[in-house]
Structure 1
Amino acid sequence: MKPSSSLSFHLLLLLLLPQLLMAEYAGGPYQKAPDDDGDKLDKHYYARSCPSFEAIVGSKIAHWHSVDPTLSPGLIRLHFHDCAVRGCDASILLDNPGGERRSPVSATLRGFHVIDDIKAEIERRCPKTVSCADILVAAARDATLMVGGPYWGNVYGRRDGRVSIAQQAEALPKGRESITHLIDFFESMGLDILDLVVLSGAHTVGRATCQSIQYRLYNYTGVPSKSDPSINPRYLNYLKRKCRWPSAYVDLDATTPTKFDNAYYRNLDNRMGLLSTDQLLHSDSRTGPLVAALSSQPMVFVHQFARSMKNLADTMVLEGDEGEIRTNCNFVNEY
């Protein structure tokens, strides 16, 4: 279904979701459709081989969040970077020369040590059983919970990839693309325009480097001292004070930066999107109506975020002999 023909359907879905949710939680006639999770992925995949898997992940994520709450948004981003290149195969974790992890796009990724900690504990209890790809999927869900986001049931059984290429990571969005480019990129992953708008809402938490936005502040369209006119003037003044140095960090959500909510979309209404691609979601005719719906209906965003994250986790999954179960997430197995 092409974006142009599916927008009305998505808007109808967003408008009806509050009623559907009320029926669901009230035990009414509405029943959720079964998930199409493929032939092999299963929510009970580790029920016998590693029953403590999700409990280990949850405990470790809670620990690391207490140490550094900024790691939780970082883990959500790490999961996206993995799935957006070669699918959800943990290729981003491979620490080899010329791999995705060494790409300039990956320079600000965080949370690798958290995944290593989880993997070490799982290997101690369930050796050679749980893939790094499944750990990333579970960690992203539990990191979302840590920042106040929704819970969703994951399915498991992914295998880890053996290939990681830095050049392929360069195709990842960098915050300066057109909406057409983003739509095409998400379609290449098997995701649609609703997933694009909803998953962009992950920017309700987390930070970006000032380097990624300085062109909007000081050199817009290549003109020295020119600023992006789409930025709210008061917000622009704040960003110029905050981002005097490229190495500084700035919150993606200027109003509730540590809370998972739909303020990200309300900020776009006020021309306070940090990245160019954020603000363009509001102004583009294909995505703007979805932004407006999510801005006015916070529970719809929460519910749909869970669905879109499940869609993301199903991207180009390796199963069976297509991959392996790494015993160390940083390296392919030697055996």
Structure 2
Amino acid sequence: MRWFLLTVFLLNLLHLADIAATFIPKQQPLMGRVLPKAKAAPVLPPSAFLSTTYYLKSCPNLESIIHQKVNAWVQKDSTLAASIIRLHFHDCAVRGCDASILLNHPGSERSAEASRTLRGFTLIDDIKAEVERQCPKTVSCADILTAAARDATLLVGGPFWEVPFGRKDGKFSIAKEANNVPQGHENVTSLLKFFDKMGLTFVDLVVLSGAHTIGRCNCYSIQQRLYNFNGTGKPDPSLNINYLNSLRKQCRLSSNYVNLDVTTPKTFDVAYYTNLGKKLGLLSTDQLLYSDSRTRSLVDLMASQPEFFIGQFAVSMVKLGNTNVLTGKKQGEVRQNCNYVNY
């Protein structure tokens, strides 16, 4: 009897298995099947590999070193703040933020005509020397220059922003590339195209131009506006007549310097934008931002909304500092001396 029941049980199991099989689709053999293509992993931009905690363990005192050095130098010479910001821009504008502007050899960006008025190299060298003493072969010159520009901005009343680190230093620097950096006489279309190549927008153009609220310019750069604008033999008609006469007195020698912001040259504020509405822009590229319909409304916005300008300046400076950075192990190096590539 037991054997009979066991046999019936087993037959029922086999019957259920046959029924189940009719509801389960048969697997096709691999050969001849077209498998769906796996989705390619998204390619991240180099800036995605930067991090505010990059040196947290390898050089924990880095930001303190940079801030103390920048503060000491700016206390001695307040004009250095604007110079460091400008040096950072010139670096990022050529080959990205890779410290190529710091390389000092014949034919380098630093030797170009467009770079002849750049300053702040000694300050960066001073920072690098101390960083190498405390954290040898660890921190790139590109990261130092980027953070120094932030601290320089902060020391003259500008905003603070977190600087993501992890840039590598470039090994190439070519003078003719540096001569493509805007020199203060380009039209707005040319400026927009230049910024677009850097991955920056018209908003970034107007906002970063606001750095001219501090700093100076040599008279050589504006001589044409004062006497022979565009070969007409006359001064630039977009210059306020009283301002024109004042500039002519200050610029009797082309080697003299004048303030970029005629009203509050040592304060990081929106007076730069207010001045443009009064025809008090020193460089023609500044004044054209107000003349051009594509940028004028934004100039007016900055002039009327100081808090918006301060906040957006920080955003645009982060974008600038992330321009075409080198982050891969084979893309660049960490220079031991900012003036020379490693041997």
1:260 maps to 2:235: no
1:296 pairs with 2:292: no
The question of whether the paired residues in 1 share the 8 Å contact of 2:46 and 2:324 is answered with no
CA displacement, residues 55-81 of structure 1 (integer Å, 9 cap, x when unaligned): 000000010011111111100000000
**Contact in 1 for aligned 2:46/2:327 (Cα 8 Å):** no
Deviations 1:289-314 (A, max 9, x none): 10010011111111100000000000
Structure 1 residue 220: deviation in Å?
Answer: 1.3
Q: Given that residues 168 and 333 in structure 2 are in contact (C-alpha distance below 8 angstroms), is that contact kept between their aligned partners in structure 1? A: yes
2:341 maps to a residue whose letter is V
Larger Rg: 2
Q: What is the rounded CA distance, in whole Å, between the counterparts of 2:212 and 2:276 in structure 1?
A: 11
Counterpart selection for 1:135 from 144, 157, 160: 144
Q: What residue is the counterpart of 2:286 in the other structure?
A: 278
Corresponding residue number in structure 2 for 1:5: none
TM-score (norm 2): 0.86
| Conserved 8 A contact 1:92-1:99 | yes
Q: 1:117 aligns with which of 104, 122, 126?
A: 126
- Secondary structure of the corresponding residue to residue 250 of structure 1: strand
Asked if 2 retains the 8 angstrom alpha-carbon contact of 1:37 and 1:155, the reply is no
Residue 177 of structure 1: CA displacement? Answer: 0.5
Contact 1:256 1:263 in 2 (8 A): yes
Match of 1:179 in 2: 188
For 1:318, the equivalent position in structure 2 comes to 326
Give the counterpart letter for 2:269 in structure 1. D
Partner of 2:175: 166
User: Take 2:69 and 2:322, find their aligned partners in 1: how far apart are those partners?
Assistant: 24
Distance of 2:183 and 2:120 partners within structure 1: 19
Consecutive unaligned residues in structure 1, runs of 5 or more: 1-35
Identity of aligned residues (%): 60
Q: Which of 239, 242, 249 is residue 247 of structure 2 equivalent to?
A: 239
Corresponding residue number in structure 1 for 2:84: 75
- Give the Cα–Cα distance (whole angstroms) in 2 for the partners of residues 270 and 71 of structure 1: 27
Q: Please list the CA deviations of residues 165-224 of structure 1 after superposition, one character each: whole Å capped at 9, or x if unmatched.
A: 000001000111110000000000000000000000000000000000010001112133
Q: Which amino acid aligns with 2:273?
A: Y
* Structure 2: unaligned runs, 5 residues or longer: 1-44
TM-score where L is the length of structure 1: 0.88
Encode CA deviations 1:226-259: one digit per residue, 9 max, x unaligned.
1111101111111111111100000000000000
Asked if residue 207 in structure 1 is aligned to residue 216 in structure 2, the reply is yes
Contact 1:83 1:315 (C-alpha < 8 Å) held by counterparts: yes
Query: Is 2:92 aligned against 1:92?
Result: no
Q: What number of residue pairs does the alignment pair up? A: 298
Alpha-carbon distance between aligned partners in 2 of 1:229 and 1:186, rounded to the nearest angstrom = 27
Q: Which amino acid aligns with 2:291?
A: S
Equivalent position to 1:308, from 316, 335, 338 = 316
Over the aligned positions, Cα root-mean-square deviation in angstroms equals: 0.9
- The whole-number CA distance in structure 2 between the counterparts of 1:37 and 1:304 is 23
Give, as a single letter, the amino acid of the residue that structure 2 aligns with 1:265: Y
Mapped to 2, the partners of 1:229 and 1:159 lie a distance apart of: 46
Aligned residue among 102, 109, 122 for 2:111: 102
Match of 1:39, SS state, is helix
Distance 1:37 1:303, change over 3 A: farther
Query: Partner of 2:48: helix, strand, or coil?
Result: coil
